């Protein structure tokens, strides 16, 4: 077998197009995925007109000073801000397409926020020539304004709750530089009870005092409940997220890495296994080899082994390359290798079956491409995207090919987000099944 | 193996006609579905003998040779030698185009488990006259030179029997002449050669015996001259006698 391996490696070395494909394809995929993951989405370019005078960003709410600059800074960080000095200049930039939108922050925004009597308004201008980009600007600004609204609402709620506590329990209150001692409903009730004790029972005065005491108690008890009401107003809808299917610990970046490596592994292995096996027939060498020099099973094992070894190396190198862009756990390196080798064996056996079926290198390559794309597509269909019955069909079909378990194995190996043993066993079963199919195909191969 | 062969195409007895055959097939049959490709064929080849298998297209020549070579399993019958002891030169050169001539020879010498791979390669390069092309990739060679490499691979293990399927197809007259010169040298060295051809003149000129195959069955075995005599067309030549022979048998 080693002489056949050596021969195939020599042929590979002298097939520059194939080697270029094997080397360049994973590199391109790795770099693209790496850049996409490390750079994140492009920020929209937005003109900013800030008419708030310097030092005017600070507002006073319930005696507490709030610097609104922290909220504007959050917004500016979410976009690529282009500071401009006037509304006209901003409009011109939007119209000319220099920026995707403009945000105009009026001078009176802090006054309105502080008074609490009238909502403050910011103005946003869009260039809608590109609906996708316009939507991006709208979504980004809306999202940031909603965040600021939520934060300010919490502040207002805190202030309102402070006032309510003052009314219920009493205490000191300062307004326009003067301090006031507020009695509060609780202490007022106490004072009234003391006054009631000093008047004759059942007298009209005692009954009137009792009415006031009842009112004070009722008001205090209901205002106590208003804490929770106001908190609900500040955040009427909360999100309580729970994972019921799949692993919640799988990071998007490691999933993207697993997907990139699996796709590359699939193409490289299928092409290599199918191509090298079909080449034996195309060169008329197969029949010469199997007339006593090499058994069909040995030849098959050599092709599967060669393709799996080459593509495993490619996959591991690719993972190391992606680790430059994405944080991967190097302590799990042996698991990466195990998953890559198992996946490569599964794809190699499938590739050999394709090669045995197609019999010619070009036909085998074409068939490998045609088969692999829909298999990858089916395996990536999420539940809920199609009807339940159709999803079950896609899952069943995916389970018959190595892509789905390979993706699961690599995902589990990278971040421990799922079971690794199951996909490895699945891949082993598929390797044996496709190997058997390829062996059957070789009976009529020559 | 050292016996001098008689001149081919004459009435002289075939070389080694009294000796035990180095290759013998008995009752070999092969069917593809309902069609009989080869039906109950028996033949033998002795050391230093050149046997030509001729017949119309579809007669079963290639199937018979591939069974003798161990490339195709027969449905019935036996072949006296295992495939590893038989040199085989298929019609289409079975070579790796991206390997050089020497690399192809070295690979097959290793797979044939030759005791001295280097010596076997050098010997075949010398015998086929391809020494100066040893480092050239096979894909750059002419059809004639590829066929020489193809033959050389069949001879790597120094087999007692060499089987060739249509060896001169796609060769120009000069290349054909050099190939036969080479093969005659092997026969003189005692190698038994069985070859198929659709070129009747090539069979008449080179073979000690011809085996005529039609519809998968052997319909004649003997020297070319004997076939002419059997048909009674001595003056017409072997090709005309062969055509007349087949015509009378309904082919």
Could you report the predicted ipTM of this complex, rounded to two decimals? Answer: 0.79
Give the pairing type, strands B50-54 and B192-196: parallel
Residue B83, min C-alpha distance to chain A (Å): 6
- Judged by a CB distance cut-off of 8 A, whether residue A193 touches chain B is no
Residues in chain B: 251
**Strand, helix or coil for residue B222:** strand
Give the pLDDT score at B4: 38
Of chain A, the percentage scoring pLDDT greater than 90 comes to: 21
Mean pLDDT of A100-124: 80
pLDDT category of residue A252 using cuts at 50, 70 and 90: low
Question: Is residue A430's pLDDT more than 90?
Answer: yes
Residue A14 and residue B112: Cβ atoms within 8 Å?
Answer: no
* Cβ neighbours, 10 Å, residue A436: 13
Cβ distance B83 to B137 under 8 Å? no
Residue A287 and residue B83: Cβ atoms within 8 Å?
Answer: no
Give the pLDDT score at A246: 52
- Residue that has been written with the tokens 């009238």 in this structure: A118
Contacts of A14 in chain B (CB under 8 A): 98-99, 137
Give the pLDDT score at A249: 46
Give the pLDDT score at B130: 85
Question: Is residue B3's pLDDT more than 80?
Answer: no
Contacts of B137 in chain A (CB under 8 A): 14
Mean pLDDT of A326-332: 85
Question: Is residue B203's pLDDT more than 60?
Answer: yes
Q: For A11, which residue in chain B has the nearest alpha carbon?
A: B98
Residue A3 and residue B111: Cβ atoms within 8 Å?
Answer: yes
Considering only CB atoms, A292 lies closest to which of B83, B95, B98, namely B83
- Residue that has been written with the tokens 């069974």 in this structure: B67
Give the pLDDT score at B10: 46
Question: Is residue B16's pLDDT more than 70?
Answer: no
Of the candidate ranges A135-139, B79-83, B97-101, the one whose mean pLDDT is the lowest: A135-139
Note the pLDDT tens digit of each residue in B143-183. Answer: 888 888 998 898 888 889 999 999 888 778 887 888 888 88
pLDDT category of residue B11 using cuts at 50, 70 and 90: very low
Contacts of A284 in chain B (CB under 8 A): 90, 92-95
Cβ distance B147 to B164 under 8 Å? no
Contacts of B90 in chain A (CB under 8 A): 284, 287-288
Residue A10 and residue B98: Cβ atoms within 8 Å?
Answer: yes
- Judged by a CB distance cut-off of 8 A, whether residue A14 touches chain B is yes
Query: For residue B116, what are the CA distances in angstroms to A1, A69, B101, B110, B120?
Result: 19, 86, 18, 9, 6
Question: Is residue B78's pLDDT more than 50?
Answer: yes
pLDDT category of residue A342 using cuts at 50, 70 and 90: very high
**Strand, helix or coil for residue B210:** strand
Considering only CB atoms, A11 lies closest to which of B69, B82, B98, namely B98
Q: For B84, which residue in chain A has the nearest alpha carbon?
A: A292
Residue B101, min C-alpha distance to chain A (Å): 13
Note the pLDDT tens digit of each residue in A91-101. Answer: 888 888 888 88
Give the pLDDT score at B15: 58
Note the pLDDT tens digit of each residue in A2-13. Answer: 888 888 888 888
B193 or B171, which is more confident: B193
Give the pLDDT score at B119: 92
Distant-in-sequence, close-in-space partners of A53: CB < 8 Å, separation ≥ 6: A107
- What φ, ψ does residue B71 adopt, rounded to 5°? -80, -30
Between A and B, how many residue pairs show a Cβ–Cβ distance under 8 A?
A: 57
Give the pLDDT score at B140: 92
pLDDT category of residue B64 using cuts at 50, 70 and 90: very high
Residue A293 and residue B137: Cβ atoms within 8 Å?
Answer: no
- Judged by a CB distance cut-off of 8 A, whether residue A362 touches chain B is no
- Judged by a CB distance cut-off of 8 A, whether residue A292 touches chain B is yes
pLDDT category of residue B102 using cuts at 50, 70 and 90: very high
Average pLDDT of the residues of chain A: 82
Of the candidate ranges A218-227, B1-10, B214-223, the one whose mean pLDDT is the lowest: B1-10
Mean pLDDT of B209-221: 90
Residue B249, min C-alpha distance to chain A (Å): 34
Residue B88 and residue A291: Cβ atoms within 8 Å?
Answer: yes
Give the pLDDT score at B243: 85
In whole angstroms, give the CA distance from residue A322 to residue A26: 10
Residue A294, min C-alpha distance to chain B (Å): 8
Question: Is residue B124's pLDDT more than 50?
Answer: yes
* Cβ neighbours, 10 Å, residue A350: 32
Residue A7 and residue B70: Cβ atoms within 8 Å?
Answer: no
Cβ distance A371 to A291 under 8 Å? no
Whole-model pTM over 0.90: no
Beta-bridged to residue A133, according to DSSP, are none
- Judged by a CB distance cut-off of 8 A, whether residue A380 touches chain B is no
Mean pLDDT of B52-74: 90
Q: Where are the alpha helices (DSSP H) in A323-360?
A: 333-358
Contacts of A288 in chain B (CB under 8 A): 71, 88, 90, 94, 108, 153
Of the candidate ranges A63-72, A361-370, B184-193, the one whose mean pLDDT is the lowest: A63-72
Give the pLDDT score at A39: 57
Give the pairing type, strands B209-214 and B217-222: antiparallel
Contacts of B70 in chain A (CB under 8 A): 291-292
In terms of C-beta distances under 8 Å and separation of at least 24 residues, what long-range contacts does A255-260 make, across chains too? A255/A411, A256/A33, A256/A36, A256/A37, A256/A326, A257/A33, A257/A37, A257/A319, A257/A322, A257/A326, A257/A328, A257/A410, A257/A414, A258/A407, A258/A410, A258/A411, A258/A414, A259/A380, A259/A407, A260/A29, A260/A30, A260/A33, A260/A318, A260/A322
């Amino acid at each position: 077998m080693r002489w056949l391996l050596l021969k195939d490696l020599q042929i590979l070395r002298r097939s520059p197009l194939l080697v270029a494909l094997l080397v360049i394809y994973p590199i391109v995929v790795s770099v693209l995925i790496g850049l996409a993951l490390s750079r994140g989405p492009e920020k929209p370019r937005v003109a900013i007109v800030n008419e708030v005078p310097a030092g005017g960003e600070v507002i006073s709410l319930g005696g507490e000073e709030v610097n609104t600059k922290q909220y504007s800074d959050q917004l500016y960080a979410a976009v690529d801000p282009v500071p401009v000095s006037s509304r006209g200049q901003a409009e011109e930039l939007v119209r000319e397409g220099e920026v995707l939108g403009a945000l105009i922050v009026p001078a009176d925004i802090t006054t309105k926020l502080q008074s609490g009597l009238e909502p403050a308004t910011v103005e946003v201008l869009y260039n809608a020539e590109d609906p996708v980009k316009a939507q991006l600007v709208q979504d980004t600004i809306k999202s940031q304004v909603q965040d600021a609204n939520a934060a300010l609402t919490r502040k207002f709620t805190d202030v309102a709750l402070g006032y309510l506590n003052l009314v219920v329990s009493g205490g000191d209150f300062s307004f326009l530089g003067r301090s006031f001692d507020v009695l509060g409903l609780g202490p007022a009730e106490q004072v009234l009870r003391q006054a009631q004790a000093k008047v004759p029972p059942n007298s009209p005065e005692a009954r009137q005092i009792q009415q006031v005491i009842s009112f004070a108690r009722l008001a205090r008890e209901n205002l106590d409940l208003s804490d929770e009401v106001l908190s609900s107003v500040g955040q009427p809808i909360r999100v309580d997220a729970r994972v019921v299917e799949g692993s919640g610990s799988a990071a998007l970046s490691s999933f993207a890495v697993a997907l990139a490596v699996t796709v590359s592994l699939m193409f490289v292995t299928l092409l290599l296994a199918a191509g090298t096996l079909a080449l034996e027939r195309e060169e008329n060498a197969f029949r010469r080899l199997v007339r006593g020099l090499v058994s069909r099973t040995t030849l098959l094992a050599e092709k599967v082994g060669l393709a799996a070894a080459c593509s495993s190396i490619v996959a591991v190198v690719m993972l190391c390359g992606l680790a430059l862009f994405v944080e991967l756990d190097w302590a799990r390196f042996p698991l990466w290798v195990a998953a890559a080798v198992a996946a490569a064996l599964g794809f190699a056996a499938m590739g050999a079956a394709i090669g045995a079926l197609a019999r010619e290198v070009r036909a085998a390559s074409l068939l490998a491409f045609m088969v692999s794309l829909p298999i990858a597509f089916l395996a990536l269909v999420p539940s809920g995207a199609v009807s339940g019955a159709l999803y079950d069909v896609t899952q069943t079909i995916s389970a018959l090919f190595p892509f789905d378990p390979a993706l699961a194995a690599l995902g589990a190996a990278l971040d421990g987000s799922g079971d690794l043993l199951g996909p490895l066993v699945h891949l082993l079963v598929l390797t044996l099944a496709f190997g058997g199919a390829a062996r059957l195909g070789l009976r009529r191969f020559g | 193996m050292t016996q001098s062969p008689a001149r081919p195409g004459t009435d002289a007895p075939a070389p080694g006609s009294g000796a035990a055959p180095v290759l013998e097939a008995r009752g070999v049959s092969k069917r593809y579905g309902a069609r009989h490709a080869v039906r109950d064929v028996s033949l033998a080849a002795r050391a230093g003998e050149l046997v030509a298998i001729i017949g119309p297209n579809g007669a079963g020549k290639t199937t018979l040779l591939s069974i003798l070579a161990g490339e195709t399993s027969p449905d019935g019958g036996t072949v006296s030698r295992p495939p590893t002891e038989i040199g085989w030169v298929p019609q289409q050169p079975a070579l790796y185009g991206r390997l050089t001539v020497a690399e192809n020879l070295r690979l097959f010498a290793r797979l044939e488990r030759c005791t001295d791979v280097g010596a076997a390669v050098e010997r075949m390069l010398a015998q086929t006259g391809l020494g100066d092309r040893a480092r050239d990739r096979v894909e750059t060679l002419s059809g004639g030179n590829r066929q020489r490499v193809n033959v050389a691979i069949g001879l790597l293990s120094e087999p007692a029997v060499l089987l060739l399927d249509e060896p001169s197809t796609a060769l120009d007259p000069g290349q054909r002449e050099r190939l036969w010169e080479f093969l005659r040298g092997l026969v003189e060295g005692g190698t038994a050669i069985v070859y198929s051809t659709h070129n009747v003149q090539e069979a008449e000129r080179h073979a000690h015996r011809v085996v005529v195959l039609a519809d998968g069955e052997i319909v004649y075995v003997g020297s070319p001259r004997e076939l002419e005599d059997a048909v009674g067309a001595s003056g017409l030549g072997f090709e005309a006698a062969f055509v007349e022979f087949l015509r009378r048998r309904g082919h």
